[in-house]
Amino acid sequence: MNMQKIVGIIRRIEDLGRVCLPIEYRRALKLFSDEKLEIVSDGEKIIARRPLIINGQIQLQGDLRKFDAKLGRLLIPSEIRKIFKLSTGARVAISIDGDELVLRPLYEQCVFCNSKENLLEFSEENICRGCARAISAKVAI
């Protein structure tokens, strides 16, 4: 078992609830061909992992979804997307913990003050107009 940790890359949910895994992540988890992964959620994060098999019996705690090796895509079950309100374009932070792929939904809020109102997107982050104005006032010549 590899106990590596890879922390933090942000990806967006694509249409039909798929998420594209970066090649380094696929390599770390040895995901080179199509296979089914178990997708579970603990209410805070989404975990994708190979299902546990004991005495030839598959032990399932979540739903199985196919990992598409050619496109590097994993489908997030719609029930889980609903729980986290993950619609197309929503962002998730992807990391690896041991043998598990961990996806943490990122809620749309200002990176500085956590406001959820009047957001602008800049460099893959959200900034509220208030903070954007304060920054531009600081840098204005």
**Segment near Zn ion (CB under 5 A); pick from 5-13, 38-46, 77-85, 113-121:** 113-121
Size of the site for Zn ion (CB under 5 A): 6
State whether the Cα torsion 132-134-137-139 is positive or negative.
negative
Distance CA 102, CA 11 (A): 12
Q: Confirm if 119 and 128 have CB atoms less than 8 A apart.
A: yes
Among 16, 83, 113, 120, binds Zn ion (CB under 5 A): 113
Site for Zn ion in 12-71 (CB under 5 A): none
Q: Is 131 in the site for Zn ion (CB under 5 A)?
A: yes
Q: Is 109 in the site for Zn ion (CB under 5 A)?
A: no
37: exposed, middle or buried (C-beta count within 10 Å: 0-12, 13-18, 19+)? buried
**Residues binding Zn ion (CB under 5 A):** 110, 112-113, 115, 128, 131
